[in-house]
Amino acid sequence: MATDYYAVLGVRRDAGPDEIKKAFRRLARELHPDVNPDPKTQERFKEINAAYEVLSDPQKKQVYDLGGDPLSAAGGAGGAGGFGAGFGNFSDIMDAFFGQSSQRGPRSRTRRGQDAMIRLEVELDEAAFGTTKDIQVDTAVTCGTCNGEGAAPGTSAQTCDMCRGRGEVSQVTRSFLGQVMTSRPCPQCQGFGTVVPTPCPECAGDGRVRSRRTLTVKIPAGVDNGTRIQLAGEGEVGPGGGPAGDLYVEIREVPHPVFQRRGDDLHCTVTIPMTAAALGTKCPLETLDGLEEVDIRPGTQSGQSIPLHQRGVTHLRGGGRGDLIVHVEVVTPNKLDPDQEELLRRLAKLRGEERPTGQFAPGQQGLFSRLKDAFNGR
């Protein structure tokens, strides 16, 4: 045959239906007469439509691939380049310009509401062990006057007399391709198919009003900053009294004056004099579980950590708790009276530390030095 339909659409002979449709839509956007009125372009547009009419129909495509005349075999489907029986593919042309075809019919006035989110502050002990809290939320709720219908009491929605309940109106225009029918949402009912002559005075026809509610939220043990708790169906009620969205409660943990949280472990620092570090002592510490004594053993060094197991935050998933890590900081006095200085000198003499030589070790490398060593394989 004189015309190679595969070449017209720019696809391989083994191209599948999706690839053929994609190529046709791409060319239709480029060559449509409304976009490019050039006469040569119009002829090219007729060619791609004829090619797509054949290659998109399995029976016509089979006849064409076998060397026959698919248009004659189909009973004279309209001739090369005319829409004819292939005018059903006009939806593909509209899809090429406006995306996927919209669902026909009236739109529902009832839609799902939006999700909402509120931030809730909790103390460290509440996050560690869990609690319940009452929160107040301002959301849209179903209008009690019209029960979500949007119409004033004693009235109801009526079928739109412009679109007769279809939610859309059609318009027929003429072009060189023939009559083209286009549809658009009804301007009178906005596509709903019904109108509300007398809107509810309470909600102005929306079917919902704003209201403040009090909810009780259960905070599970182990929550942390950013944890979100989902309350299904407690969000915004949808237009027309539609189902409510979800409410998300985002946790914000208030900083503690003593403990710093790292995951499920807690950290704190205890400062002791050098004499207590040398001789040992016991320091009272108010933990999340109550008052406990931290055992400072004799000879404890500055920077040493003392773990208190199972005194941290409860694991959110799984049993058990984290640890409480006590970091020891030993303070050296910078002012001594004569008696204290004499005592320390006598202690240094007894320990043979009057003129200590000290022990030196390599200093900590900087970042660039460590990177250099890493690249050099050290």
**Where is the binding site for Zn(2+), in residues?**
143, 146, 160, 163, 186, 189, 200, 203
Q: Which residue carries 């944890």 as its tokens?
A: 227
Q: CB-side exposure of 77: number of CA atoms within 13 Å? A: 23
Amino acid at 236: E
First to last CA, the chain: 74
Cα–Cα–Cα angle for 94, 95, 98, rounded to 5 degrees: 80
Name, in order, each residue with C-beta under 8 angstroms of 143's C-beta and a sequence gap of 6 or more: 150, 200, 202, 203, 206, 207, 208, 209, 241
What number of other Cβ atoms are within 10 A of residue 81's Cβ?
18
Nearest to 88 by CA among 187, 178, 171, 158: 178
Distance CA 23, CA 229 (A): 47
User: Which residues, listed in sequence order, are joined to residue 50 by a DSSP beta bridge?
Assistant: none
Residues 184, 177: contact at Cβ < 8 Å? no
Amino acid at 268: C
Which residues participate in the annotated binding site?
143, 146, 160, 163, 186, 189, 200, 203
3-state helix, strand, coil in the chain (%, to 5): 25, 30, 45
- For the stretch 274-283, contacts whose Cβ atoms lie closer than 8 Å and that sit 24 or more positions apart, written own/partner, are 274/330, 274/331, 274/332, 274/333, 277/301, 277/302, 277/328, 277/330
